[in-house]
Amino acid sequence: MIIVVDDEGAYRELLAKILSKAGYEVVQAADGFAALSLLEKSKIDLVISDILMPGMNGYSLVARLRAKWRNMPVILTTGFLSEDTAKNMMNGSVDFIPKPIDPEKLIEMIHRRIPPSTQVTTTNC
């Protein structure tokens, strides 16, 4: 299951649709706090998170993930930083894809980490 974390609801919905069509089970969170709550309750295989969000930004979310789910694959995204800047800030511990996201590149990035599931559902939080 993949969790999509983004404060922009329309963008979160778009990513969820792209992932669902590719065969992934998807849950959504509007911020880092909601994402952490879902991670406690569900078996999440991969996190896709915006970097710039109110409350808990993507970098803070990654720090909290690493403390509890050390090997959780993470893909960060934003339209405001270069790919090199984002990767360097996380010391290469996460993947990065710039907004607007290229769906094919995103699916390829995910396929390298987890295979698509046969069950597809989308849940909002």
Compute the residue count for the chain.
Answer: 125
CB 102 within 8 A of CB 67: no
Architecture, CATH, for domain 2-114? 3-Layer(aba) Sandwich (3.40)
Domain boundaries, the chain: 2-114
Contact 77, 96 (CB under 8 A): yes
- Count of alpha carbons within 13 angstroms of residue 88, beta-carbon side: 5
Backbone angles phi, psi at 97, to 5 degrees: -135, 130
Per-residue pLDDT 10s for the chain (125 aa) are 999 999 999 999 999 999 999 999 999 999 999 999 999 999 999 999 999 999 899 989 999 999 999 999 999 998 776 656 655 555 656 888 888 999 999 999 999 888 766 444 555 65
Predicted model pTM: 0.86
